[in-house]
Structures are given as C-alpha cells and as structure tokens.
C-alpha cells in the first residue's frame, strides 16, 4: 500500500465524523396549517429538528391518531450507535496504518453491513410507530396506518411527508467510497509489485 492510499483510508475513517456534525436523516412534514413546515432530524446520537420543540409538536399532532409519543430515550440505538461509529473510525485508522488491502475490504464490507442494518432498524421503527396505534385514538380511519416514508414522499391525512438522507449519511457514503477506492488501488499496486518482487527473487 502506498502512502497516499493510507492517507485516503484515514480520510475515509474520519469522514464518519460527519455523523456527529450533521443529522443522518430528515423527515419533512407539511400541512395546510403548517406553512412553515416541521422537520424531524435524526442524528446518530439524538433527535432534533427545525426548532427546539419539534418533537413535542410532532407528538401533539401524532397523539390524535394514537401514535406512541416519540422520545429520544426510547431509542437504545442513540446511546450505542455513537460508540459503533467511533469504533469504525478508530479501526479505520488502524487498518490504514497496517496497510493491508484485505483488511480494508473487510472494514468496508462491515461498514456497509452496519449502514444497511441502520437503515433496516430505522425502517422497523417507522413501521412500529406507524402501525402500533392506540385503540383509544380520537381519530381512527379504518384501515389507515401512518408509516412515514423511508425515502421519498407520502401523503398521510393532511400531512405531506418527505423523508431524505442528510449530510450525516454522506459521511458513511464517503467512507464506503473512499475505502473502496483504497481497496482497489492498493490491490492493483500490490499485484503490480508482486512480479517485481518475484523477479528480484529470481535474480538472486
């Protein structure tokens, strides 16, 4: 592995840091009486939004249809996910220092699996909140569930919901792309180097 491969691998590991600077996902809600819109921001370690009180306002609107109130404390993920991300960042740097292509590949695959697991977990939460409705809900529409879209747009009663990955997720994408590049480049250079080494051996 060449020096610049190592640097790129470190960059890949550190780009996960974006997860601590920006939300991973954003859910936008718009309704006739909410012209300014409501935004729920999902971070790796917390829930936030377009204002300090988005969660309370989400919950007020959701309680009419009998949805469980959303509290950051209900999600164990928000407690352990940051450690996983930090672990990926540290191991990523170590992998870069060791400089073995196979380790890079392993790290990349694990990160992709982790990301996919995160998205699956997110989807399962959406289904849980959208379908686990109180039988005492003031507003009941027969057959209606309220699963927000995982990606893209959906109409839920008077609300238009739009769900999109945010800058934090870009961190994961960059990490995967960079480490993938490192793997391919370093594999190629390793291959290119090998015959040189065997020639040398042959010569001696």
Interface with other proteins by CB under 8 A: which residues?
A: 36, 51-53, 55-57, 59-60, 62-64, 66-69, 71, 134, 136, 138-139
Structure tokens at 63: 């309680």
C-alpha to C-alpha distance for 125 and 106, rounded to whole angstroms? 28
Closest approach, Cβ 69 to other proteins, in A, equals 5
Q: Which residues contact 150 (CB under 8 A, 6 or more apart)?
A: 119, 122, 123, 126, 163
**Minimum CB distance to other proteins smaller for 134 or for 193:** 134
Closest approach, Cβ 45 to other proteins, in A, equals 16
Closest approach, Cβ 22 to other proteins, in A, equals 22
C-alpha to C-alpha distance for 45 and 109, rounded to whole angstroms? 23
Closest approach, Cβ 173 to other proteins, in A, equals 32
CA distances from 167 to 5, 16, 18, 74 (A): 25, 11, 7, 24
Decide if 139 contacts 115 (C-beta within 8 A).
no
**Minimum CB distance to other proteins smaller for 73 or for 203:** 73
**Minimum CB distance to other proteins smaller for 28 or for 93:** 28
Closest approach, Cβ 28 to other proteins, in A, equals 16
**Minimum CB distance to other proteins smaller for 90 or for 157:** 157
**Minimum CB distance to other proteins smaller for 16 or for 133:** 133
Query: Residue 157, by phi and psi: left (phi above 0), alpha (psi -120 to 50) or beta?
Result: left
From the list 123, 186, 172, the residue with the least C-alpha distance to 152 is: 123
**Minimum CB distance to other proteins smaller for 136 or for 201:** 136
- Please state the length of the chain: 204
Phi, psi (degrees; rounded to nearest 5) at 127: -65, -45
Closest approach, Cβ 68 to other proteins, in A, equals 6
Structure tokens at 186: 């370093």
């Amino acid at each position: 592995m060449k020096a610049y491969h190592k640097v790129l691998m470190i960059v890949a590991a550190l780009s996960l840091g974006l997860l601590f600077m920006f939300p991973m996902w954003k859910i936008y809600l718009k309704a006739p009486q909410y012209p300014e819109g409501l935004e729920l921001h999902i971070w790796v370690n917390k829930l936030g939004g377009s204002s300090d009180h988005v969660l309370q306002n989400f919950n007020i609107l959701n309680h009419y249809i009998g949805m469980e109130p959303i509290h950051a404390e209900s999600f164990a993920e928000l407690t352990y996910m940051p450690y996983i991300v930090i672990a990926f960042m540290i191991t990523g740097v170590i992998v870069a220092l060791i400089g073995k292509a196979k380790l890079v590949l392993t790290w990349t695959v694990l990160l992709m699996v982790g990301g996919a697991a995160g998205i699956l977990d997110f989807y399962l939460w959406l289904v849980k909140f959208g379908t686990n409705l109180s039988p005492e809900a003031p507003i009941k529409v027969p057959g209606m569930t309220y699963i927000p879209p995982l990606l893209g747009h959906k109409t839920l009663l008077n609300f238009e919901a739009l769900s999109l990955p945010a800058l934090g997720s870009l961190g994961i994408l960059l990490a995967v792309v960079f480490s993938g590049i490192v793997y391919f480049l370093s594999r190629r250079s390793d291959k290119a180097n090998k015959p040189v080494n065997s020639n040398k051996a042959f010569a001696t």
